[in-house]
Structure 1
Amino acid sequence: MATHASVSTGWKSLDLIIDHLRRGDNVVWQVDAIDDYQRLVTSFVNNALVDNERVVYLRFARHLPLVEGRIDRITIHKLDVEQGFESFSSQVHTIITNEGRDAFYVFDSLSDLLHVWATDLMIGDFFSITCPYLYELNTIAYFAILRDRHSFKAIARIREITQVLIDVYNYRGRICIHPIKVLHRYSPTMFFPHIKRKDSLQPVINSVDASAIFTHLSRHKTRVAHRHLDYWDHLFIRARNLNESNAPEEEKRDMVEQLSRVLMTRNKKILALIREHMTLDDFLQIKVRLIGTGFIGGKSVGMLLARKILAEDQSRRWQDILEHHDSFYIGSDVFYSYIVQNGWWKLFMAHKTREGYFDRAAELKERLLEGRFPEGITEQFQLMLEYFGQSPIIVRSSSLLEDAFGSAFAGKYDSCFCVNQGPPEQRYEAFEQAVRQIFASTMNEDALAYRRQRGLDRMDEQMALLVQRVSGAYRKYYYFPEMAGVGLSHNPFVWKKGMDPKAGMIRLVHGLGTRAVDRVENDYPRIIALDDPLVKPLSGMKDIRRFSQHFVDVLNLQENRIESEPFENMLDRGVTATVELLTVRDTEAMDALRDLGLPAKDQRVLTFDPFLTTTPFIEVMRSLLGRLKEVYRHPVDVEFTINFNKAGDFQINLLQCRPFQTIGLGDGSPLPASLPEASLLLRMEGRFMGGSILQPIDLVIFVDPERYTRLTLSEKYGVARLIGKLNRSIVNKETAPTLLLGPGRWGTHTPAMGVPVHFAEINHISALAEISYRDGSLIPDLSFGTHFFHDLIETGIFYLAIYPEQADVLFNRRWFLDQPNLLSTLSPTDSPLAEVVHVLDVRDAGLVIHSDVASQQVVCYLSGAATASANEPQPDPASSP
């Protein structure tokens, strides 16, 4: 608690007017020029040094230093404002914490922060989190703001928070001091303007002088009546005027550069693409649909940039192929203001510490689901929802770091469908809750681990949002697109010799795209190689039927929610209008029904073959991915939907575009010409992802499929947590490369289909294998293009799908079971699971994984001393585990 002891400003006359400063005071000087502020700082600092007070100067502005010449007696901290609000505020918070109680602070002009933040909102947020902390530590702090640079609303917010606010201006060549707010002090003349005469300040109290000076001030204020606008608004007014003028193109490009750095991104590679392709008019169109201020985030930037690149491409009439969009953008500043204005900034700073990074995040996540939005933002939310009416919308994460080169954040943050049915109040509340949920998803454990693993945990990661009309059509009481998918300009999963990885691939589904981007339970989207679209990584109608899409994600307008409907039911109800284009007839299933004496109703399998062969879709997607890859100078990954217009032509809605991370693109070393059967642990063709590698393995974690199926539900979850514990013990995957093998799908939500780990529980693994086990539903998911797939790619994890029951696959399960199991030694409390989870130290065995993309071969073999001891009868290559 502050002690409120009197302190001098260094100017006795001013001390008398405001009854001195009090410890705990934050003092804001509103000045015409920095020189005026510097004179006030000089008096304050000189007096503090005489009284042996600790003086701390926070230097961050572009103006000249305020305390130059006395740096030997003053602690100076030079701060970096370029990294954004969170980084800057965190630096200040840390300094104040370390300096402790009773220090005297001088801050550079807060107005200078506008050149980076471009908005009063963030300056107000910074002031509202910093000043109470300074007050709590019994300090005195000087701040300055330049007159006419800020909106009335911003000044009002500063006035409300600070203890002392004083106007400083010049009147007929003399300095005038006008206290506006002085907390807990009062005198009959305190709040009059005071004119400096010699060294004293004299109140202007007679009517002649008072009317003259206030007339002067009112004229000045009339000239600057535009102050009700934010700096942000002025920036775009200048941009609009410039765009409508005959100014040189170079001047307009300079404005594009300025706007890019406050609206789009800080990523240098993306900025270069924006400079090359986007115009001033593009930015003005974004501003019309922007709620709040700040960055629109990586997902929004990627979508807009990709659309602009294609619009410039003269090789096709993209305006006829691409569906138009009318998206809205919720600026990143709204996220921080939501935290600040709900009083959670201290908790947020506690989360940013090393010890609180995960622990405090859980508490913050709960808070983020309960907050209130500022009134000005809720009004804009309401206007946006009135625009969309009752059309279904989707609220998508679009954080600062998302969808950039090197950090896709695929699936780390939430996206929420708002079916948007019902009365306006209900629709509005559902939308607000969707925003809260996505804000809260910044504290998801997987997202936090992802940021830390990539060294991004100390960087600003504000959450902007992209609000889009759901692409699709009404079908009875359902709403969904005909098709949706993910497209990759580089195909990391070539399953046939001669297939060209550079041609790209598509993962395609019927209905909403959730089944294209997420690993779904017991369902299989269509994988399409763009150089050979009809070739499937399966053979025979039985496999095609089994490994096809059986459920369709739709929006149920009656129930006001997203649902997964069996495709067969949708056929029976006549909901799917393009049956002949999306499916092939399953004559085998129809014959089987006849043999059983049952009605042989029409049986269909979603293969999309007719659509792929009778439309130019494949050619269009090759062009789309090829053009974007060419401009990005990097492989790309897109999300899209497909609908049909009245003429029956398909149209693509391009929802997202981001740089696609690839691994193992080199040819690698050739596979050994021959290997002793005794040394082989695995040999198969295809069904791997990660390119050509030669990876030594030091540690193996093997979850035995047969014994896993016998576990109870809680024991299966126990296996998942144990895998996470073992994963965390791998300090460095480079020095301790680890192979993880287990049944079915890693990361499934259904333990009966695999081990239900979070990705953060396997992110230190070097190679990951999913093993098919025919007794049960433990089938790998070749989920190329999903969020899980992106995690594997970005983390550099080599992936294998092993089908031991197939004749061309050799898998020596017995060898893994016969090696000494270290689990009980490493984690005695987990000994009961030692029959299921085997941890093997294979450094002396020389275990190696070797793959070759050209031949589509992969082998895992022993190259060390243990090879000799492996000379025992080997299992039949076709045997199951």
Structure 2
Amino acid sequence: MLSKLKLNQLYFKDTQFVSLMTKRIFNVLLVANPYDAFMLEDDGRIDEKIFIEYMNLSLRYPPRFTQVSTEEDAWKQLGNTMFDLVICMPGSDNSDTFDIARQIKEKYPHIPLVVLTPFSHGIKERMEHEDLSIFEYVFCWLGNTDLLVSIIKLIEDKMNLEHDIKEVGVQMILLVEDSIRFYSSVLPNLYKFVLRQSQEFATEALNEHQRTLRMRGRPKIVLARSYEEAMDLYNKYQNNTLGIISDARYPREDKIDPHAGIRFLTEVRSRDPFIPLILQSAEVSNKEFALSCGAQFIDKNSKKMNIDLREAVSENFGFGDFIFRNPNTMEEVVRVHNLKELQNAIFSIPAESFLYHISRNHISRWLYSRAIFPVAEFLKQITWESLQDIDAHRQIIFEAIVKYRKMKNQGVVAVFQRDRFDRYSNFARIGDGSLGGKGRGLAFIDNMVKRHAEFEEFENASVVIPKTVVLCTDIFDEFMDMNQLYQVALSDADDETILRAFLRAKLPDRLVEDFFAFFDVVKSPIAIRSSSLLEDSHYQPFAGIYSTYMIPYLTDKYEMLRMLSDAIKGVYASVYYKDSKAYMQATSNVIDQEKMAVILQEVVGTQYGDRFYPSISGVARSINYYPINDELAEEGTVSLALGLGKYIVDGGLTLRVCPYHPDKVLQTSEMEMALRETQTRFYALDLKNMGQNFSLDDDFNLLKLPVKEAENDGSLNYIASTYDPYDMVIRDGIYPGGRKVITFANILQHDVFPLARILQLVQKYGQGEMRRPVEIEFAVNLNAAEKKGVFYLLQIRPMVDMKADLNEDLDAIPEDQLLLKSVNSLGQGIMDDIQDVIYVKTEGYSASNNQLIAYDIEKLNKRFLDEGKHYILIGPGRWGSSDTWLGIPVKWPNISAARVIVEAGLTNYRVDPSQGTHFFQNLTSFGVGYFTINAYMNDGLYNQELLNSMPAVEETKYLRWVHFDKPLAVKMNGKKKIGVVSFD
């Protein structure tokens, strides 16, 4: 039976609460003589009272009242303002209120009119002779402002009824009553109760905004005043009726029928055996009838009639807590307050109690009253008759709730609540400040995945973000102020001093319990990532400037708390390190504007002994300035690696793939290249390192291991190939003996996991919705045994695309005017304000001096920064590589004044175009040119003789700095990958 219901294909769409209650009453015109109006306003505070009433019930948009007493005033006001409702209060004198009302109705037939009258003897007689057909309702004023809220809500409910029921299945409570005096006192009570309840169930919402929206899903209250009207409403909406409250005596066929209510309820009961019915009557003899049609009886003469009614509605209409009862004794067995509790209790409810409730539709009714429509609709169709298997029923309810909660949590930034955060929670915030750049990016992709159903189409893959909690920027402010850290932070103290001061400081105490709740749910290592206001902002992304720490998961939660607190303080401190301050200066930002949010996120990966790492990490870019073979620039490019993503950011050897041509990978196209240019090492988190020696270096607890170690862990299934030294071939897959080569062949060529397709979607929607090229970080956990996996999106940020148009043919410039030319350049645009070149001397060059060269460059760079000038930087190997044998290990702040950076190969030191450069993001955001030149192979041109012949402004053992009298012309065509630097 379960498979018949296809539970796993159950696709709950989130309820669009935004589209409910769209018709509202904003302006009310009150037509009354001054004395009556004064009485109504109780010395003139009606607006204030309504406002307070609305606020208490968390309702938005309280209406405004405008009061007029003469015909002249009425027309004047109607001419100036759009009114949504007119309330007329006829005085006891022979006032002309009704005449005014009639004329208003003629001229403005769409505005609803209501009569509100203090019930005194004279008026009653007067009303008998009036034609009331133009009025929606007549109410009797008993001096209670609640009545005004009810009048407005009743009319709003009537206006929105049909649309909201059709749209999402909102429920209706039908009140059948013709006594004006009576419904004028019942309605305020009923509304107050339902609105209070909807405040309660709005706690299923994940943040304030959602909460206010959810309240729109509350049941509508509809008033019928005759048998025919009641029957019409029931016929039309019987599938969406939550319950009915009916009087016994009211008009049927235009005559008062003392048994109209009983006839109506009997008819309803014959169609629906479980719908809750309440009969209220002043004649106690009707109690018998009530019992015969299974309705609850309420005595209208009772002093506490209103309380009785409220209790009856609460118990029968699915409001309040859900109480599972023993069907024989009706004693309470289990009580649940919300969806999460129902999910937790479902398997422990005694069978007979469970059967009693499901066979009477109680659970779906309770869900309806709480506006959880998708699950309620689904469960309503699964009746006891259709299934007749208690365990299957429990399972179905459980899975439906889980599915709904997962769907509801996705794409929403919830407010972190300790008792609510669980394994179905996705993204929560602590604090009210900003989420910072990365936080916003994550919230954005989470929402994007939820909106596009294509991400659901994979049999063996799901696309999600890791569980995330963001400490918003206001926590940072509080931490800085509470510990008085600004003085040391903004001083010239060295990084170590600043870090120590931050580590000594205290985080707000209230966070401890929140962190414990987080540990209970996320039983994996945690990454503590910076998410500053300026980071990943649209035009000047700060990539790789602040620290990111990772901590292992420990069973000792106090030890874990210590590590987490240190990591958070370490990220906070990194805002004020020397590099960050230099970067701020380079980007003309003011350090006081920088505020830091911190992301706590489960680390994606699998534990292998004392190590933890994911099967695949990657960075996808939706535009590719290095298209080769059939690739197009707009198809984007992806760098893949085994282990933690730090390897990619550090410029390690990754596998570069275009998601539209996953079977054509340059690096694995030839055996020699595959052996030489694929990943040899990877990063893993060291689970033994407890962070006692917490350091400036945020990778102090990461292990850099040879790929062979991963083979021992058994983590290379589907991602490695084996080199067979005897046959001199590389075979896809893992075979004994032979070196393992990281090719991802089974995934890219043989589609064991739909990585390429997911990346196409992510790039397409990411770029489409950000309206600009994007860079996306991701990680994948593969379960090799089941051939399944989870694709985790870790971050999205804009790549700033340079739009400068280049129509000139750069190949046409004569060589004798060129200082540099690269046919493998990165960047787009034109620069004409650079007069300086710093280059590494090639004579006697040795890679062993690369670290010393980096120090020299840093000193010169600082001088350029101070003067606000730029230069061209030329040197051998990969700039910014953390491996000093591959290139000069500079960080971005050490070269931030360079506007063109050149990798120049030497005969014995060839360079391939860098892909994983740490500052790819900074290059693009500042429009920096990046040239790769291997002149000795006729791959570009580098006129070093010219530079050597010029006098040096400054010369060190390894570097020369020369100055041109006139600015050099830098021109780059990113699509054609050609870049030149020419001189006059």
If the length of structure 1 is used for normalisation, what is the TM-score? Answer: 0.58
Q: Verify the 8 A CA contact 1:705 1:771 in the aligned structure 2.
A: no
1:385 alignment partner, one of 492, 497, 519: 519
Q: CA deviation at 1:238?
A: 5.8
Matched, 1:634 2:634: no
2:436: which partner in 1?
297
1:367 alignment partner, one of 469, 483, 501: 501
2:747: which partner in 1?
611
The amino acid across from 1:242 in the alignment is T
1:427 alignment partner, one of 543, 549, 560: 560
Q: Verify the 8 A CA contact 2:446 2:464 in the aligned structure 1.
A: no
Q: Verify the 8 A CA contact 1:720 1:756 in the aligned structure 2.
A: no
Q: Verify the 8 A CA contact 1:804 1:810 in the aligned structure 2.
A: yes
1:333 alignment partner, one of 457, 463, 474: 474
Q: What CA distance in whole angstroms lies between the structure 1 residues aligned with 2:487 and 2:683?
A: 41
1:311 alignment partner, one of 450, 457, 464: 450
1:701: which partner in 2?
838
Aligned pairs for 1:785-804 within 5 A:
787-804=918-935
Aligned pairs for 1:245-264 within 5 A:
245-246=215-216
Q: Verify the 8 A CA contact 2:547 2:571 in the aligned structure 1.
A: yes
Q: What CA distance in whole angstroms lies between the structure 1 residues aligned with 2:573 and 2:739?
A: 44
Residue ranges of structure 1 left out of the alignment (5+ in a row): 1-232, 249-276, 594-598, 824-830, 865-881
The amino acid across from 2:706 in the alignment is P
Q: What CA distance in whole angstroms lies between the structure 1 residues aligned with 2:411 and 2:764?
A: 26
Q: Verify the 8 A CA contact 2:684 2:705 in the aligned structure 1.
A: yes
1:516: which partner in 2?
648
The amino acid across from 1:245 in the alignment is M
2:687: which partner in 1?
557
Q: What CA distance in whole angstroms lies between the structure 2 residues aligned with 1:482 and 1:394?
A: 17
Q: Verify the 8 A CA contact 2:826 2:974 in the aligned structure 1.
A: no
Q: CA deviation at 1:384?
A: 2.3
Matched, 1:745 2:878: yes
Change (3 A) 1:424 1:247: closer
CA shift digits 1:588-611 (9 cap, x unpaired)? 687499xxxxx9931232122331
2:382: which partner in 1?
none
691-700 vs 615-624, greater mean Cα deviation: 691-700
Q: Verify the 8 A CA contact 1:590 1:600 in the aligned structure 2.
A: no
Q: Percentage identity across aligned positions?
A: 21
1:198: which partner in 2?
none
Matched, 1:526 2:526: no
Aligned pairs for 1:740-819 within 5 A:
740-749=873-882, 751-773=884-906, 775=908, 779=911, 782-784=914-916, 787-819=918-950
CA shift digits 1:61-86 (9 cap, x unpaired)? xxxxxxxxxxxxxxxxxxxxxxxxxx
Q: What CA distance in whole angstroms lies between the structure 2 residues aligned with 1:491 and 1:714?
A: 31
Q: Verify the 8 A CA contact 1:694 1:848 in the aligned structure 2.
A: yes
Q: What CA distance in whole angstroms lies between the structure 1 residues aligned with 2:864 and 2:945?
A: 24
Q: What CA distance in whole angstroms lies between the structure 1 residues aligned with 2:794 and 2:207?
A: 29
The amino acid across from 1:728 in the alignment is L
Q: Verify the 8 A CA contact 1:505 1:530 in the aligned structure 2.
A: yes
Q: What CA distance in whole angstroms lies between the structure 2 residues aligned with 1:814 and 1:705?
A: 11
2:789: which partner in 1?
650
Q: Verify the 8 A CA contact 1:730 1:764 in the aligned structure 2.
A: no
Q: What CA distance in whole angstroms lies between the structure 2 residues aligned with 1:627 and 1:360?
A: 43
Matched, 1:716 2:850: no
Q: Verify the 8 A CA contact 1:684 1:859 in the aligned structure 2.
A: yes
- Could you say what secondary structure the match of 2:749 adopts? helix
Aligned pairs for 1:168-567 within 5 A:
239=209, 241-246=211-216, 282-284=412-414, 289-317=428-456, 321-323=462-464, 325-347=466-488, 351=490, 364-389=498-523, 391-421=524-554, 423-457=556-590, 460-496=593-629, 499-519=631-651, 523-533=652-662, 534-536=664-666, 540-558=670-688, 561-567=701-707
Q: What CA distance in whole angstroms lies between the structure 1 residues aligned with 2:579 and 2:869?
A: 19
Q: Verify the 8 A CA contact 1:418 1:430 in the aligned structure 2.
A: yes
Q: CA deviation at 1:667?
A: 4.4
The amino acid across from 1:632 in the alignment is M
CA shift digits 1:609-649 (9 cap, x unpaired)? 33112223222211211112111112111111112256413
Q: Verify the 8 A CA contact 1:412 1:444 in the aligned structure 2.
A: no
CA shift digits 1:827-857 (9 cap, x unpaired)? xxxx5x1x5311222345x744444345433
The amino acid across from 1:836 in the alignment is Y
Change (3 A) 1:695 1:550: farther
Q: What CA distance in whole angstroms lies between the structure 2 residues aligned with 1:460 and 1:278?
A: 35
Kindly indicate whether structure 1 or structure 2 has the higher relative contact order, using CA contacts under 8 Å at least 6 residues apart.
1
CA shift digits 1:37-82 (9 cap, x unpaired)? xxxxxxxxxxxxxxxxxxxxxxxxxxxxxxxxxxxxxxxxxxxxxx
Q: CA deviation at 1:493?
A: 2.6
Change (3 A) 1:290 1:589: farther
318-327 vs 583-592, greater mean Cα deviation: 583-592
Q: CA deviation at 1:282?
A: 2.5
Q: CA deviation at 1:500?
A: 1.5
Q: Verify the 8 A CA contact 2:774 2:798 in the aligned structure 1.
A: yes
Q: What CA distance in whole angstroms lies between the structure 1 residues aligned with 2:572 and 2:586?
A: 21
Change (3 A) 1:315 1:373: closer
Q: What CA distance in whole angstroms lies between the structure 2 residues aligned with 1:550 and 1:757?
A: 22
Q: CA deviation at 1:315?
A: 3.6
CA shift digits 1:81-125 (9 cap, x unpaired)? xxxxxxxxxxxxxxxxxxxxxxxxxxxxxxxxxxxxxxxxxxxxx
2:868: which partner in 1?
731
If the length of structure 2 is used for normalisation, what is the TM-score? Answer: 0.53
Change (3 A) 1:318 1:304: farther
The amino acid across from 2:503 in the alignment is L
Q: What CA distance in whole angstroms lies between the structure 2 residues aligned with 1:475 and 1:555?
A: 10
- Could you say what secondary structure the match of 2:216 adopts? coil
Q: Verify the 8 A CA contact 1:743 1:773 in the aligned structure 2.
A: yes
Q: Verify the 8 A CA contact 2:529 2:547 in the aligned structure 1.
A: yes
Matched, 1:620 2:758: yes
CA shift digits 1:536-557 (9 cap, x unpaired)? 2797432332222111111233
Q: CA deviation at 1:490?
A: 1.3
Q: What CA distance in whole angstroms lies between the structure 2 residues aligned with 1:361 and 1:742?
A: 29
- Could you say what secondary structure the match of 1:282 adopts? coil
Aligned length: 566
2:709: which partner in 1?
569
Change (3 A) 1:669 1:290: same
Q: What CA distance in whole angstroms lies between the structure 2 residues aligned with 1:606 and 1:281?
A: 34
CA shift digits 1:516-540 (9 cap, x unpaired)? 2233xxx311122234342427974
Q: CA deviation at 1:797?
A: 0.8
The amino acid across from 1:510 in the alignment is L
Q: What CA distance in whole angstroms lies between the structure 2 residues aligned with 1:690 and 1:280?
A: 37
Q: CA deviation at 1:584?
A: 3.3
Change (3 A) 1:236 1:316: closer
CA shift digits 1:129-188 (9 cap, x unpaired)? xxxxxxxxxxxxxxxxxxxxxxxxxxxxxxxxxxxxxxxxxxxxxxxxxxxxxxxxxxxx
Q: Verify the 8 A CA contact 1:485 1:509 in the aligned structure 2.
A: yes
2:962: which partner in 1?
840
Q: Verify the 8 A CA contact 2:971 2:979 in the aligned structure 1.
A: yes
Larger Rg: 2
CA shift digits 1:642-679 (9 cap, x unpaired)? 12256413321011112221225644421243624x44
- Could you say what secondary structure the match of 1:369 adopts? helix
Residue ranges of structure 2 left out of the alignment (5+ in a row): 1-202, 219-406, 422-427, 691-700
User: What RMSD in Å do the two structures reach over aligned CA positions?
Assistant: 3.7
Q: CA deviation at 1:316?
A: 4.1
- Could you say what secondary structure the match of 2:657 adopts? strand
Change (3 A) 1:683 1:344: closer
2:355: which partner in 1?
none
